[in-house]
Structure 1
Amino acid sequence: MHDTTTPVWPHHELGRELSNWGRWGDDDEIGTLNFVTPEKRVRSAQLVRTGRVFDLGMPFDKNGPFPAGGFRINPVHVMTLLPGDTAASKDGGISADDMIITGLQSATQWDGLAHVGYDGMFYNGVPAAAVNNFTGAARNAFPKVIERLVTRGVLLDIPRLKGVDRLSDSYEVTAEDLSAAEERQGVRVESGDILLLRTGWYQWFLEGDREHFLGNAAGPGLDSCRWLHDREVAALAVDNWSGEVWPSKVPGSVIPFHHVVIRDMGLTLGEMFNLEDLAADCAADGVWDFLLVAPGLKVTGAVGSPVTPLAIK
């Protein structure tokens, strides 16, 4: 006899427990970024004391992380107008123009709330049919969240907690790790914060080892979901390519952490953030929170966005 029983997925059970569907109304399309209020932004702006700026973004160019032939391509930059094309101007003026061809998730990027779902649904009961070739994402589109991606950022540095440069392959960051990092660093993640989670994985990209960077990545797993929910984290950004531990610790599932945090909790998830220089500075001055400005692009109907995030201390 063939067993047709529907499997009980542990991450879907967890997702039902942590679900934010309806929490901000049936029409809500921004999820946990509702925690970023005007008052929160005012307090966050007061964290700027020195004016030092840290660029957390990956370069958008042909030397990006992805190999040829995959479903994502590295950005392609093309000049469409050169100074020589305009040199005939009578007043001696010249100009240049260019374009870029890229996937919206091909470098440092945000996963929006129409990026991942399951059982035919995205966040807050949005049906899969709301994403199509004509409109892109008719609901839960990334531009809905842009203004909320300016708030207090907090960096939790798990390799420094463990006394290593980077975490080992497929290391799963747990709730215990997150709390221990807070205690060691003397900082606390609060409602409306964007959590920047350092695993050290971005070092593989900086060293030119694209294969290892795209391999078995350290990252958060299901154990951390309840912690993120309880702390009312507004968004999470990780320094690896997968946004979670890779490969999945749940047999038969590819990205279970995405399922819970994006589809059920409504949490915008960032990937491939370069946290190395910021982490070194935070370790030097003991200040682990800052103003984070990371709005992304207002691409109509997009399910994610490239971003050049800036941490300002």
Structure 2
Amino acid sequence: MRTSDQLGEPGFRSLYRRLLSTAPGAASPRGALDTLTPDRVLAAVREVRSGRTVSLASPVNTVAAPDDPRPAEHRLTAPQGGVPAPGGGLEFARDRFAMDVHGDVNTHLDALCHVLYDDTVHGGLPAADALTPEGARTLSADLVHDGVVGRAVLLDIPGLHGRPWLEPGTSVTAEDLEAAEARQGVRTGPGDLLLVRVGHRRRREELGPWDASVARAGLDPAALEFLAERRVAVLGGDGNNDTAPSPVRGVDFPVHVLAVHAMGLHLLDYLRLEEVLPVCVAQGRWSFLCVIAPLRLPAATGAPVNPIAVL
């Protein structure tokens, strides 16, 4: 684990170029999803042992907090005032929901158009060609409208270090990922959905919310080479995958730049892994079938998701 600046912007750009040349999804319009072949989906189905299902999403937050000043809005629109009309008969309860897709609390998927770097999006496409005031023309969340189904591998980094969570500002290294694999008896492979637990959600639930935009645990940027070597399809975490303060001077979200922009990895931010964790411990296994079904938002830069682990 690391807790201080490790990389300047020139070193970061060198890492970016290496990933562009080595990551399997760097040159593909579908990004790293190309590694999730039908054969690998069938193999993932064979991961199911007990048939138990567990949500990997957090409840949608509707209360303003230091990490969510603009929470989701939910209100009942019928019956009027929430009170059924007198006299009985047929009525329908109806409601309306609105939210910012990207933020520091709610579970969501980042589309490949989400990260702009050097005026481009994934694949080097000019951002001005990809995005309009009406939404994304390409690389939107609709790219995964058929869902993502595959083998997920959960690596518990606080468990590796005997802690309930990693403190904000801590970065998870490739050595941490390899050590967690060895401890848990699992290996991440091609087409896998890699889920990295830093304990963000548990810390929030036990200590209360804080401004996660300025302080959170995440991945060290150099750890993305581990993901490229293992040819993973999706990266998810119970934070937003990036450390704050940033370990790269001059780049605030280096993991997002490397993962989404360079490697073509869809990111799952702010998962809730506290329910599946004890199931993995009890069953003595850290891989499982995972089903991700984003809402069909054709021009969106991301989507709320409720990933389901099937063990």
TM over 0.5: yes
The aligned residue for residue 267 of structure 1 is 265
1:33 counterpart letter in structure 2: L
Residue 43 in structure 1 maps to residue 43 in structure 2? yes
* Alignment CA distance shift 1:64-1:31 (3 Å): farther
The aligned residue for residue 126 of structure 1 is 125
From 278, 281, 287, the equivalent of 2:279 is 281
1:48 counterpart letter in structure 2: V
Instruction: Please give the secondary structure, in 2, of the residue aligned with 1:153.
Output: strand
* Alignment CA distance shift 1:278-1:19 (3 Å): same
After TM superposition, give the deviation of residue 29 of structure 1 in Å. Answer: 2.8
Contact 2:26 2:264 in 1 (8 A): no
Instruction: Please give the secondary structure, in 2, of the residue aligned with 1:95.
Output: coil
User: How many Å separate the matches in 2 of 1:208 and 1:100?
Assistant: 28
Show CA shifts across 1:90-119 (max 9, x none).
8x2221111111111241011111111211
What aligned pairs does 1:67-82 form with structure 2 within 5 A after superposition? 73-82=70-79
What aligned pairs does 1:47-62 form with structure 2 within 5 A after superposition? 47-62=47-62
Instruction: Please give the secondary structure, in 1, of the residue aligned with 2:54.
Output: strand
Contact 1:66 1:74 in 2 (8 A): no
Task: Count residues with an aligned counterpart.
Answer: 301
Residue 101 in structure 1 maps to residue 102 in structure 2? no
User: How many Å separate the matches in 1 of 2:296 and 2:229?
Assistant: 30
After TM superposition, give the deviation of residue 145 of structure 1 in Å. Answer: 2.1
Identity %, equivalent residues: 33
Show CA shifts across 1:119-169 (max 9, x none).
111111211113444441111111102335111111000111111111123
The aligned residue for residue 11 of structure 2 is 10
User: How many Å separate the matches in 1 of 2:41 and 2:87?
Assistant: 47
After TM superposition, give the deviation of residue 207 of structure 1 in Å. Answer: 2.5
* Alignment CA distance shift 1:113-1:65 (3 Å): farther
* Alignment CA distance shift 1:223-1:132 (3 Å): closer
User: How many Å separate the matches in 1 of 2:37 and 2:226?
Assistant: 21
* Alignment CA distance shift 1:175-1:65 (3 Å): farther
The aligned residue for residue 114 of structure 2 is 115
* Alignment CA distance shift 1:278-1:25 (3 Å): closer
Where in structure 2 are there 5+ consecutive unaligned residues?
1-7
Question: So what's the TM-score if we normalise by structure 2?
Answer: 0.89
Contact 1:201 1:213 in 2 (8 A): no
After TM superposition, give the deviation of residue 21 of structure 1 in Å. Answer: 9.7
- Which shifted more, 231-240 or 45-54? 45-54
User: How many Å separate the matches in 1 of 2:26 and 2:157?
Assistant: 35
Instruction: Please give the secondary structure, in 2, of the residue aligned with 1:197.
Output: strand
Instruction: Please give the secondary structure, in 2, of the residue aligned with 1:121.
Output: coil
What aligned pairs does 1:215-234 form with structure 2 within 5 A after superposition? 215-234=214-233
1:14 counterpart letter in structure 2: L
Where in structure 1 are there 5+ consecutive unaligned residues?
1-6
The aligned residue for residue 4 of structure 1 is none
* Alignment CA distance shift 1:301-1:42 (3 Å): same
User: How many Å separate the matches in 2 of 1:191 and 1:89?
Assistant: 62
Question: So what's the TM-score if we normalise by structure 1?
Answer: 0.88
RMSD of equivalent CA atoms: 2.5
User: How many Å separate the matches in 2 of 1:146 and 1:62?
Assistant: 26
